[in-house]
Chains A and B, each alone.
Chain A
Amino acid sequence: MTPEKTDEEIAVQVQAGDAESFRFLIERYEPKMARYAKRFLFGGDDVKDLLQEVFIKVYVNIKSFDANRRFSPWIYRVAHNEFVNALKKRNKERGNISLFYVDVLFPHPIAKETAEEAVTQREIRETLEKSLGQLDPKYRDPLVLYYLEDMDYKAIADILRIPVSTVGVRLQRGKALLKTFLAEKQ
């Protein structure tokens, strides 16, 4: 197996019965999933247990993955669901039931990012890392996926199962909150 294969090609091989190839997907995504889990405010043994659950679920359900779509949003979706369920069980917060948020019910125009905001993006990333615990999950999740996991709007929409326009709205509002946190610290 050459490491140059894409995630999707490896997934197809696993689907065909080459279980050993699944190791490559674990190696590629374990660091990302661990980082993502920590941004849901998990730590220590919780992260390890959750990673095991995520990868087991990915393997068990790999035949539901459509190789014509990107693998990354699909595995992030599995991870997101697992982390949300774990949070619910831990009773830290109620979890993201997007259906009942008004911003997924009605359309919103999407604001475009400008080049001028490159510097601001660095500040946002730094502030975001420090403010994870203060953010509502509805804003934290898209902010983490966009600024820290480098996902695009479409991928975030697929992971969180919300409209693309809602991703834009939540990013804007989340950024505004982070700027407030930054201003308070300064």
Chain B
Amino acid sequence: MPPEHHVGEEIMSAIKSGDVKMRPRWYFMLRGALAILAITIVILAAVFFISFVVFFLRKTGEWFVPMFGLQGWYAIFTGLPWVLVCLSGIFVVMLAILAQRYPFGYQWPLFYSVLGAFFLVGSMSFLFIRTSFYRTFFDSSIPREIPLLSEYYPDGGLLVPANIRRGQVIAVLPDGFVIQGQLLGDTSTILVASDTVFPDNTVIHPGDVVVIFAKSSSGTIVEAGGIEKITP
């Protein structure tokens, strides 16, 4: 190698004189800890928003309508809180990108990393939803104060889908039953027709919690397209 490229002596002189110093190990540990903290925050944010989306869909009854076929899927698709869904997606992608700084991240194509991040966040959300804390927290006043979430609560102008009712049966009638909505406490009279779909063919009793997929509605009278008894 040409002598002009020899840099060893200059570098060793700089090291011996103290001009160049090793960064201490705690610097890298702190950097690593900050990276882990950032990843943890992103995971928690993704789990939080995904869990809230599930909470919202269950509260409005949209969660249960896919069982009514394509119309149900269309209803859930159009009723999704898309801002929160997109936000959750952004956090998941951020997680996959943050993972790229580690060998377990960059050794796989980003597509697999994003899938892995979805699976991780989805699993954690699933576990969180199983806890009693999940419903207690989202039913409390705390999330109602969070700017992005407050609009999804009844007193914040909840985006209740017009063709879905969720409520508790308070009276059974010859041609249907009366329900009291669990979101706003309003009552609706549900009319059962010959073509009303009962996915499980169950009998409705007072006290049952049901989701109604409305064929048409006029004020508090709802003609049921589909009825499903659910476990709240």
Contacts and interface: CB of A to CB of B under 8 A. Distances in A.
Interface of A: 14-15, 19-20, 22-23, 26-27, 30-31, 34, 44-45, 47-48, 51-52, 55-56, 59-64, 99, 104-108, 157-158, 161-166
Contacts of B7: 26, 30, 48, 51-52, 55
B6 to A, nearest CB: 7
Interface of B: 1, 4-8, 10-12, 14-16, 20-25, 27-28, 97, 100, 103, 106-112
A160 to B, nearest CB: 9
B97 A99 contact: yes
A99 B110 contact: yes
A25 B21 CA distance: 16
Given A19-B12, A106-B110, 4 more contacts: A26-B7, A60-B22, A99-B100, A104-B109
19 contacts: A20-B12, A26-B8, A26-B11, A26-B12, A30-B1, A30-B6, A30-B7, A45-B4, A55-B7, A56-B11, A59-B15, A60-B23, A61-B28, A105-B109, A107-B108, A161-B106, A163-B107, A163-B108, A164-B107
Contact of A163 (B10, B23, B28, B106): B106
Contacts of A105: 109-111
A61 B106 CA distance: 21
Chain A at the B interface: SS class: helix
A59 B21 CA distance: 8
Contacts of B4: 44-45, 48
A104 B8 contact: no
Contacts, number: 89
A62 B8 contact: no
B11 A34 contact: no
A61 B108 contact: no
A47 B8 contact: no
Contact of B10 (A52, A62, A99, A164): A52
A63 B24 contact: yes
A157 B8 contact: no
Contacts of B12: 19-20, 22-23, 26
Top-9 shortest CB links A-B = A26-B8, A64-B28, A105-B110, A161-B106, A63-B25, A107-B109, A51-B7, A52-B7, A106-B111
Contacts of A20: 12
A162 B21 CA distance: 31
A60 to B, nearest CB: 6
A85 to B, nearest CB: 17
A10 to B, nearest CB: 14
B5 A30 contact: yes
B14, B23, B106: most-surrounded residue (chain A CB, <10 A): B106
